[in-house]
Amino acid sequence: GAGVSQTPSNKVTEKGKYVELRCDPISGHTALYWYRQSLGQGPEFLIYFQGTGAADDSGLPNDRFFAVRPEGSVSTLKIQRTERGDSAVYLCASSLLAGGQMGQFFGPGTRLTVL
Amino acid sequence: GIQVEQSPPDLILQEGANSTLRCNFSDSVNNLQWFHQNPWGQLINLFYIPSGTKQNGRLSATTVATERYSLLYISSSQTTDSGVYFCAAGRNTPLVFGKGTRLSVIA
């Protein structure tokens, strides 16, 4: 597709459940990023992939969060034992070059609500 | 890590007015971007501008890397310019975002 796509657009789950969020980057983009945006705040970095490997996962808040990108394209962010504090918009971005040079391009986000 | 500060936090303009949004960053960067987040939450790329000046229609941006700031200029503002404007910066790292400037353009 022409841009970054994310599914689902909205996800409502109950506390303690497991969720998966999917990101399809722009074709040919080697770098993929996950960010999280809480209400009234700017996006905050979670994890960055260069190809298939996680180049930087320092933003993941705890071990309930995990992400994969097995074939170097689509990525899945996985959250175990969800908590109400995980409610936020999860944004995915991709860039042509490593380190985000030439710019990062964002998808529409997945709004996660944990009840 | 890099810190990014934006000002002003809120701005109300009459349609047709001009405005300048500022972004200060704490360290040298090789990636700086300006985004507009529309009411539906989509982050729209405005400029990739780690240095220099660029213009796109009524919008222009200037980054003075040696002084660690960037400016976004909006001329002849329209109601559709309303939303939150984010500056984000990094150096071979994922972007660090400022808290944004919330712009309201009133007809």
Concatenated DSSP letters of A5-34 = EEE-SEEEE-TT--EEEEEEPPTT--EEEE
Q: For residues B88-98, give the mean pLDDT.
A: 89
Q: Which residues of B touch A105 (CB under 8 A)?
A: 45
pLDDT, mean over chain A: 94
**Predicted confidence band at A43 (pLDDT cuts at 50, 70, 90)?**
very high
A43–B100 C-beta distance less than 8 A: no
Bridge partners of B6? B23
Cβ–Cβ under 8 Å, residues A78 and A69: no
What is the phi/psi pair of residue A108, to 5°?
-75, -10
Q: Do B31 and A89 touch (CB under 8 A)?
A: no
Average of per-residue pLDDT values in chain B: 95
Average pLDDT of the residues in B11-25: 97
- Å between B86 CA and nearest CA of chain A: 7
Is the peptide bond preceding residue A25 cis, with omega within 30 degrees of 0?
no
Out of B33, B41, B92, closest to residue A89 by CB: B41
* CA B4/CA B36 separation, integer angstroms: 16
The Cβ of residue A57 has, within 10 Å, a number of other Cβ atoms equal to 15
Which tens digits make up the pLDDT trace of B52-79? 999 999 999 999 999 999 999 999 999 9
In this complex, is the C-beta atom of A89 within 8 Å of any C-beta atom belonging to chain B? yes
